[in-house]
Amino acid sequence: MAATESSTGRRGHLPLSTIAREWGRIGAVGFGGPPAHIALLRELVVERRRWIEPRQFENGLTAVNLLPGPASTQLAILTAWRTGGPAGAVVGGLSFVLPGLVLIVGLAALFLGSPPDWIRGAGAGAGAAVAAVAVQAGWTLLRPAWERVTPEGRWRFVVYALAGAAAAAALGPWLVLVLLGCGAAEVARRRLSGGMALAPWPALAVVAATAGTFASLAWVAFKVGALSYGGGFVIVPLMQADAVERYGWMTETEFLNAVALGQVTPGPVVHTVAVVGYAAAGAPGALLAAAVAFAPSFGFVLLGARRFDRFLANADVRRFFDGAAPAAIGAILGSAAPLALALQEGWQWAVLAGAAVSLLLLRRGVVLTLLAAGAVGGFAVLVGAPVAV
């Protein structure tokens, strides 16, 4: 039934029904964020079915980590492309994304409507834990990234990380420019005499940011999907500043609920943008936000997969990421500040402290911690604790 991947990287031709079934299964059971998605994809295509050679899988993982946007989604699309060509990439990517998207839009309708008090309490409890999740996510990335940095490059790593953290904590919608600026600075530092030949992404970002042709929701979703280096929690300060402060689509409490929903549902964390879209314009807004946020991932793979070997070998791309990556890690850690400051009830701080102990000291899983925090919040409201709207 299945064609295998040769050592030269030639694509096989799996039936689209097989790709839809297998990638859809991962999209439905992929709780735990990018590490879980990557492990499930590797188990499927490398270890169990042997559709892709291990070297090809690792090279693909390296390539998507150098791209902006959600890396695990791009890896799902890329592995589907290698096993089923362009049609397989579309089918596999959609199958991976849609299960979690359907679930999170349904939950958005529940949490953003007129839910009973215990549901509101559960959302407030889970939302209270989100700042601790951000710290845990940033710390998980920080340690291995620091170990890969050369001794002479560590001072720049610290500077870029601090810039990202400060931007996430204080600048909100301007964070993307700081990430791009850190990447460009690293390229410039190494190419002062070489004409400043930058990777194409910063130039494209500036054009997109100044064109003024996107509606507000589409622009927010585009930043999430195409301009957020590091994925995951890097998108949180981008969305929080726009959705809560700039456009007023959501309250602080509703935004924390949205981030928690993105963590406890299967599939990529970028699904959170669908909740923002639902708050802005109902179900059509959720679908628009999701389509815009995920479109760049499909475009990067469909248009660039054949050139990934050259992409990986491009010195400017790697230099850009040397600056953007530590800034993205700093942004993840810095996002904890506005998330914590958004808490409005005293009991939520106790939940946050408990979540920090669970994640950072006891090393419990994110999904389990958020579910426990939600249960505490629901119980607290049932026994009379206040909850903000």
Number of domains in the chain: 2
Residue 20: band (very low, low, confident or very high) from pLDDT cuts 50, 70, 90: very high
| φ/ψ (deg, to 5) at 129 | -85, -10
Burial label for 210, CB within 10 Å (0-12, 13-18, 19+), is exposed
> Quick one: 268 and 369 in the same domain?
yes
Work out the mean pLDDT of the chain and round it to a whole number.
82
* Cα angle: 240, vertex 329, 125; to 5 degrees: 45
- Please give the pLDDT value at position 36: 75
- Please give the pLDDT value at position 361: 92
52-66, 156-170, 288-302, range with greatest mean pLDDT: 288-302
Residue 33 in this model has a pLDDT that exceeds 80: no
Q: Taking Cα atoms as reference points, which of 372, 377, 123, 121 lies closest to residue 259? A: 123
Contacts of 234 (CB under 8 A, 6+ apart): 168, 175, 179, 228, 328, 331, 332, 335
Domain final residue, candidates 82, 97, 112: 97
> Quick one: 47 and 177 in the same domain?
no
- The mean per-residue pLDDT over the stretch 342-356 comes to 90
Of 139-153, 198-212, 264-278, the range with the lowest mean pLDDT is: 198-212
> Quick one: 37 and 134 in the same domain?
no
Q: Which residue has the tokens 């500077």?
A: 159
Domain final residue, candidates 97, 132, 159: 97
Domain final residue, candidates 35, 62, 97: 97
Distance CA(61)–CA(285), nearest Å, equals 31
- Please give the pLDDT value at position 210: 37
Distance CA(319)–CA(325), nearest Å, equals 10
Residue 213 in this model has a pLDDT that exceeds 60: no
> Quick one: 20 and 165 in the same domain?
no
Domain-located, residue 203: yes
> Quick one: 146 and 195 in the same domain?
yes
- Please give the pLDDT value at position 357: 94
Domain-located, residue 6: no
3-state secondary structure of 342: coil
Contact 88, 81 (CB under 8 A): yes
Domain-located, residue 361: yes
Distance CA(64)–CA(297), nearest Å, equals 9
Q: Taking Cα atoms as reference points, which of 69, 87, 82 lies closest to residue 42? A: 82
Q: Taking Cα atoms as reference points, which of 266, 270, 199 lies closest to residue 234? A: 270
82-91, 133-142, 266-275, range with greatest mean pLDDT: 82-91
Contact 155, 303 (CB under 8 A): no
- Please give the pLDDT value at position 265: 85
- Please give the pLDDT value at position 209: 39
Domain-located, residue 256: yes
Domain-located, residue 11: no
Domain-located, residue 232: yes
Residue 85: band (very low, low, confident or very high) from pLDDT cuts 50, 70, 90: very high
> Quick one: 71 and 214 in the same domain?
no
Contact 134, 233 (CB under 8 A): yes
Q: List the domain range (segments joined by +) for residue 262.
A: 103-382
- Please give the pLDDT value at position 8: 30
- The mean per-residue pLDDT over the stretch 205-230 comes to 65
> Quick one: 26 and 87 in the same domain?
yes
- The mean per-residue pLDDT over the stretch 127-156 comes to 83
Look at 70 and 286; give whichever has higher pLDDT. 286
Residue 294 in this model has a pLDDT that exceeds 70: yes
> Quick one: 241 and 295 in the same domain?
yes
Residue 98 in this model has a pLDDT that exceeds 70: yes
> Quick one: 59 and 121 in the same domain?
no
- Please give the pLDDT value at position 97: 95
3-state secondary structure of 2: coil
> Quick one: 162 and 32 in the same domain?
no
Residue 115 in this model has a pLDDT that exceeds 90: no
H or E element in which residue 357 lies: none
Distance CA(263)–CA(259), nearest Å, equals 6
Q: Which residue has the tokens 């939940």?
A: 351
> Quick one: 57 and 41 in the same domain?
yes
- The mean per-residue pLDDT over the stretch 109-133 comes to 83
Domain-located, residue 388: no
Residue 367 in this model has a pLDDT that exceeds 80: no
> Quick one: 272 and 308 in the same domain?
yes
pLDDT tens digit sequence for 296-345: 999 999 988 888 777 777 778 778 878 887 887 888 788 888 888 888 88
Domain-located, residue 39: yes
DSSP 76-136: HHHHHHHHHHHHHHHHHHHHHHHHHHHHHHHHHHHHSS---HHHHHHHHHHHHTHHHHHHH
Residue 196 in this model has a pLDDT that exceeds 80: no
Residue 278 in this model has a pLDDT that exceeds 90: yes
Distance CA(194)–CA(302), nearest Å, equals 31
